[in-house]
Chains A and B, each alone.
Chain A
Amino acid sequence: MSTFSTPNQVIEQFAEQIKQANIDKQTIQITGNQSKVPLGIEDFNGLPVQELNISNYSGIIEYEPAELVVTVKAGTPLTELQAALAERNQMLAFEPPDYGNSTIGGTYAVGLTGPSKPFRGILRDFVLGTKLIDGQGRQLGFGGKMIKNVAGYDVSRMLVGSKGSMALITEMSLKVIPLAVEVTYCIEMPENEAILLMNKMAGTALPMTGGAYYQGRFYYRVAGEHPLQTNQVGVRECDNSVWVTLNPFRPELESGEKLWRVDVESTNPAIENTIAVGMGGTRRWVASPNKPNHPYVTLWQTRFAPRHNDTPCVQKIKLGLRDVFDPNHIFKQL
């Protein structure tokens, strides 16, 4: 959909820079506020990269609370977006982690979701449409502002997690939800018991929006009206701050230790050296010198270093899709 918004001078400049890079054979690294990835000096071939910074393309384009949709420029800081939503008693359901002035564009690029993941869904679930500039400098639009839309391939959801390697996302429309009134409860217990319990509880009608295990305690969060919890042995109400501690999770590590993000099935038994369990059991944070032996592990020191666990088939697809969006490989691979 090309009628997403009116032509904009900043967008035209971005497109121009990308077109010029095609002529100059120049690699571009897209940056926001660099809260997650610093600007690299060189690309893989040792050539200098040129920065394309989206942080000056910021602000809410359209927000209609009754439509449950907000359309926002990619450089908008999360705090600004969240404040605007909160003013109308709404929120981002995926509770993105803020690494310090993080932008919505950078959050989309990395595809980061907070503690409510198994309960409300992941970031891409809430993406309804995007406007983007591809590797040839063409301004394109996919999806729209509709909650239901199955016209054409779902490019706007597919590009979540593309880390600026395929296209410059300039605008996006996101589904929002009513601001949740939430209470957190906690109870002391061993990790394996907590994992079992959080799975059991998630299968009941209790309106859970968070389940975690941290420093010997099982924490769970409940939204809206629900049965009394503190009449159960050991359960007490605690404040909601644990979800901020875990999102983003930035623990102090012993020397020689590395932080590993391990994504597993929610019922996976406790993993050695785990320092926190989040997202209803599906996320494990492991502190150890060595990589845990699981299929979905990410070294989290650079917060999202690339993983290379794709099968050859999937690798080929990803390389092929990169050529579709960026045939001259202008955008830096991360």
Chain B
Amino acid sequence: MDVIQALKEAISAKNVLDSVESCRPYECDGLSAYREKPLAVALPDDVEQVKAVLRICKQYKVPVITRGSGTGLAGGTLPLKDGIVLGLSKLSDIIKIDPLQRIAVVQPGVRNISVSQAVEKYGLYYAPDPSSQIACSIGGNVAENSGGVHCLKYGLTVHNVLSIKVLDMDGEESVFDEKDDGIDLLALLNGSEGLLGVIVEIKLKLLPKPESAQLVMAAFHSVSDCADAVTSVLEQGIIPAGLEMMDKFSLMAAEEFAKVGYPTDAEALLLCEVDGSHAQVQTDAKRVADILTQKGAYKITVSQSEKERIALWQGRKNAFPAVGRFSPDYYCMDGTIPRNKLAFVLEEIDRMSGIYGLKVANVFHAGDGNLHPLILYDANKPGELELTEKFGTEILNLCVDVGGTITGEHGVGVEKLNSMCHQYNTPELEIFHGIKAVFDKTGLLNPGKAVPTLHRCAEVGQMHVHNNQLPHPHLERF
């Protein structure tokens, strides 16, 4: 009996896809430039079936790539040709909501937005809001430690998860809880990209919805003035709920797309949202407007109604598709930098953009330093994807060199393996591999993702000057 047959017997044939057509939706995640048909896709109905899949895969020594909604942007759930995709979308029950304790216990396939929708009637919500929140799953959020636009004030996924239940390749359950003594394994599992275990249950922290929110929009004649203004807001003790910056290209594209009244003569646009009690919001919005004016904003708009606030956000929220209209394809980067390096980094990106002949639009989570340059390219032009990736790698290296990181919220996946070699040295990577081996002795859980092999880094280092694009990045290199 082969592994596919064994899976079909264990979790029923209808829950195992193995034809080319049925596997097609699982060939890639949000990073669609990378595709691979898996051996099969297993879609268990419940946790017991997940355990069965893991035990069978262990027995047949078949890699397991756990997948939620497939919205990840770094190829973290890219299948392996000889591996099984373990899709957890059917584990979509909200197991428990306790409004008094302000917690929800959910299965991994529950969509992010449905948690907030389910608890809205209690005046509560789940804070992390990645832009894919209508589709992305909580299990995937934990695996990636996903962020969103409100991270500065409300934290990432790791700050909003109280407990998780995890399976190893034997199907054995472990619970990692915030209340545990000793080292913080719960924190370790957040953002571990499916390499350390299969998350089957999550206890989430819920927050009371803020009483009120107001948006301050400010237009600047220069990017560096705008960056300085952000610094001033934070220095003076205001922690905005959202603090987003767009460069000229992004704001023009967004305005053309959403027609919300963004000032198209600006070089940089800042959207600063404050939330909290009515009184606090009024005070803070006025203070923010004053600070931004002092720092050179030539036009300030303060939302006067909930309708206006939501309308002003529409441009920013549609910035990616808006920019996308200018190009057949775009490539979204995720570097994070100290805010005080923003002006320098944007200038450098602009310079590189000229060298590579590829346009770049910049949107920036200014509050937490997370930069999302969108590189515009055409995948149908031979070599342009490769060129784009090379450009992207250079941007990430720049982020590391100014004291930042290669990924703020999207994860490493397969996409940023080479950049990991730039961020971490050999002993640090050895520790990562050591951690992986403790949780997964078989090495079957999402192998080849998130942490590059030492051989690969050696090779990237050697190839760096000539061409650091590897043809098959998921393959180990010796």
- Among B237, B283, B410, the most chain A Cβ lie within 10 Å of the Cβ of B237
Given contacts A66-B231, A111-B184, A224-B276, contact A1 B424 (CB under 8 A): yes
B-chain residues with CB within 8 Å of residue A311 when the two chains form the complex: 174-175
Given contacts A1-B424, A144-B404, A157-B184, contact A150 B409 (CB under 8 A): yes
Q: Is the CB of B209 within 8 A of A205?
A: yes
Q: Is the CB of A161 within 8 A of B184?
A: yes
Q: Is the CB of B185 within 8 A of A140?
A: no
Q: Is the CB of B237 within 8 A of A179?
A: yes
A-chain residues with CB within 8 Å of residue B437 when the two chains form the complex: 320, 324
Of the residues A153, A178, A179, A320, contact of B191 by C-beta under 8 Å: A153
Q: Is the CB of B336 within 8 A of A140?
A: no
Chain B residue nearest to A142 in the complex (CB): B428
- The complex places the Cα of A235 from the Cα of B100 at a distance, in Å, of 22
Number of A-B contacts (CB under 8 A): 240
Could you tell me the distance in whole angstroms from the C-beta of A159 to the nearest C-beta in chain B? Answer: 6
Q: Is the CB of B183 within 8 A of A321?
A: yes
B-chain residues with CB within 8 Å of residue A320 when the two chains form the complex: 437-438
Q: Is the CB of B428 within 8 A of A144?
A: no
B378 within 8 A of A: no
B-chain residues with CB within 8 Å of residue A105 when the two chains form the complex: none
Q: Is the CB of A148 within 8 A of B368?
A: yes
Could you tell me the distance in whole angstroms from the C-beta of A305 to the nearest C-beta in chain B? Answer: 10
Could you tell me the distance in whole angstroms from the C-beta of A174 to the nearest C-beta in chain B? Answer: 14
Given contacts A158-B188, A205-B277, contact A153 B435 (CB under 8 A): yes
A-chain residues with CB within 8 Å of residue B407 when the two chains form the complex: 149-151
**CB contact list, B396-436 vs A, under 8 A:** 400, 403-412, 416, 419-420, 423-425, 427-428, 431-432, 434-435
A-chain residues with CB within 8 Å of residue B184 when the two chains form the complex: 111, 124, 157-161
Proximity string of chain A (306-334) to chain B, C-beta cutoff 8 Å, 1 when within and 0 when not: 11011101100110110111000000000
A147 within 8 A of B: yes
B305 within 8 A of A: no
Q: Is the CB of A226 within 8 A of B279?
A: yes
Chain B residue nearest to A144 in the complex (CB): B405
B-chain residues with CB within 8 Å of residue A134 when the two chains form the complex: 427, 431
- The complex places the Cα of A138 from the Cα of B338 at a distance, in Å, of 27
- The complex places the Cα of A202 from the Cα of B205 at a distance, in Å, of 12
Q: Is the CB of B239 within 8 A of A150?
A: no
Q: Is the CB of B408 within 8 A of A146?
A: yes
A2 within 8 A of B: yes
B-chain residues with CB within 8 Å of residue A224 when the two chains form the complex: 276-277, 280
Q: Is the CB of B235 within 8 A of A147?
A: no
Given contacts A150-B408, A151-B406, A267-B101, contact A205 B439 (CB under 8 A): no
Q: Is the CB of B434 within 8 A of A324?
A: yes
Proximity string of chain A (136-169) to chain B, C-beta cutoff 8 Å, 1 when within and 0 when not: 0010111011111111111101111111001000
Q: Which of B37-45, B50-58, B155-163 contacts A (4 or more CB under 8 A)?
A: B155-163
Proximity string of chain B (194-238) to chain A, C-beta cutoff 8 Å, 1 when within and 0 when not: 001000000000001111000000000000000000011011011
Q: Is the CB of B336 within 8 A of A149?
A: yes
- The complex places the Cα of A137 from the Cα of B198 at a distance, in Å, of 33
Sample (15) of A-B pairs whose CB atoms are under 8 Å apart? A66-B232, A67-B339, A134-B427, A138-B427, A146-B405, A150-B409, A152-B450, A153-B435, A163-B182, A203-B122, A296-B179, A296-B180, A314-B174, A317-B185, A320-B438
Which A positions have Cβ atoms within 8 angstroms of B?
Answer: 1-2, 64-68, 89-90, 111, 121-122, 124-125, 134, 138, 140-142, 144-155, 157-163, 166, 177-179, 196, 199-200, 202-207, 224-227, 263, 265-267, 295-296, 298, 306-307, 309-311, 313-314, 317-318, 320-321, 323-325
